[in-house]
């Protein structure tokens, strides 16, 4: 790992994760959601609006994820639906609203609605380049259907001319799929979408397989310094990688984002910053995922539109020659 710059203690989170829904339709091998004890539910519309309104008042460039630990497309037909939530967030002026999904429920109609609602980016977890491996990892999913759904999404994006809408496929690297990583990457790059490679998480120690960098090289966790994670009931979890929300720093039904961010969460950020590991609360105290947080790798596809745009901008400098 290279040199890591100490992060500043921000006055408002740069990233907010919202558990619009905490149910999931799969039982993936590397995800601890299947063992989640926390009561599952769908976020109340009034609470959702309160959160979005506060983000909008404070910092419209805060990146808002419409997911913390659930599958957002489960609420594609509820009232309000995930599309209503997205539209609300975009109408509030938020610049970067994104979501991740396992892609199983991402039919053509949903793709159109996501783009129409103004979604800025989507991350689709696939983790395999063959059906057999996929079935071992993404238990309950359907590889062919997911691949077709992503290809349809690319087609919808092109037909709507939604050039700024980012499609990213995700590959969590592990023993079972490692040999497929490069083929996966090449295939999806050739389709014009970005590829995100992530290391397997221990879910803040829950799975018992913490990546665990050496203790004396430990540094502040990327997630704690930037991110606020909110459950469907408004509890603010200390950790973006903890599905159980074992350490709750406050509740947004009663408090504001600023209050919690600059209260309990700030105390924990200070401990990370000062490297006082022995004083950290659980689960940070026993977690190796802080290292994974720095290892995400995004491999960007070459986009014809972007290149064409750059060439056009370059040539526009010389338009006087043709005048
Ligand atoms: S150190 Fe671990 S428990 Fe603490 S915020 Fe980071 S990932 Fe979560």
From 211, 283, 285, 295, mutation site for ligand 1 pocket: most ligand atoms within 8 A of C-beta = 283
Q: What share of the chain is helix, strand, coil (3-state, %, to 5)?
A: 40, 15, 45
Residue with CA at minimum distance from ligand 1 atom 8: 239
19 has a pLDDT exceeding 80 = yes
The answer to whether 120 touches 131, Cβ cutoff 8 Å, is no
Mutate to test the pocket of ligand 1, among 221, 236, 265 (most ligand atoms within 8 A of CB): 221
pLDDT class of 34 with cuts at 50, 70, 90? very high
Question: CA torsion, points 195, 229, 87, 80, in degrees to nearest 10?
Answer: 120
Q: Within 13 Å of residue 38, how many CA atoms lie on the same side as its CB?
A: 27
Question: What's the pLDDT at 290?
Answer: 85
Per-residue confidence (pLDDT) for residue 317, from 0 to 100: 46
Burial code of 206-242, b = ≥16 C-beta within 10 A, e = fewer? beeebbbbeeeebbbbbbbbbbbbbbbbbbbbbbbbb
Query: Mean of the pLDDT values across residues 214-229?
Result: 86
The chain-wide mean pLDDT, for the chain, equals 90
Find the mean pLDDT for residues 152-167: 97
């Amino acid at each position: 790992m290279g040199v890591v710059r100490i992060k500043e203690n921000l006055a408002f989170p740069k990233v907010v994760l919202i558990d619009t829904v905490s149910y999931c339709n799969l039982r993936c091998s590397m995800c601890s959601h299947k063992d989640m004890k926390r009561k599952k539910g769908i976020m109340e519309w009034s609470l959702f609006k309160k959160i979005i309104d506060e983000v909008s008042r404070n910092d419209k460039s805060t990146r808002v994820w419409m997911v913390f630990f659930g599958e957002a497309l489960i609420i594609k037909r509820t009232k309000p639906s995930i599309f209503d939530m997205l539209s609300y967030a975009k109408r509030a002026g938020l610049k970067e609203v994104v979501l991740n999904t396992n892609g199983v429920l991402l039919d053509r109609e949903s793709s159109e609605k996501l783009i129409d609602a103004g979604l800025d980016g989507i991350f689709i977890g696939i983790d395999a380049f063959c059906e057999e491996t996929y079935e071992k990892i993404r238990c309950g999913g359907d590889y062919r259907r997911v691949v077709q759904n992503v290809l349809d999404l690319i087609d919808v994006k092109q037909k709507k001319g939604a050039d700024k809408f980012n499609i990213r496929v995700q590959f969590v690297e592990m023993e079972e799929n490692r040999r497929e990583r490069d083929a996966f990457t090449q295939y999806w790059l050739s389709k014009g979408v970005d590829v995100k490679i992530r290391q397997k998480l221990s879910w803040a120690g829950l799975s018992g397989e913490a990546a665990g960098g050496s203790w004396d090289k430990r540094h502040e966790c990327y997630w704690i310094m930037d991110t606020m994670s909110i459950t469907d009931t408004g509890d603010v979890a200390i950790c973006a990688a903890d599905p159980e929300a074992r350490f709750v720093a406050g509740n947004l039904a009663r408090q504001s984002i600023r209050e919690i961010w600059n209260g309990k969460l700030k105390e924990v950020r200070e401990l990370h910053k000062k490297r006082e590991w022995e004083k950290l609360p659980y689960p940070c105290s026993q977690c190796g995922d802080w290292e994974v947080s720095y290892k995400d790798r995004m491999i960007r596809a070459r986009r014809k539109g972007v290149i064409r745009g750059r060439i056009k901008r370059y040539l526009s400098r010389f338009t006087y020659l043709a005048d």
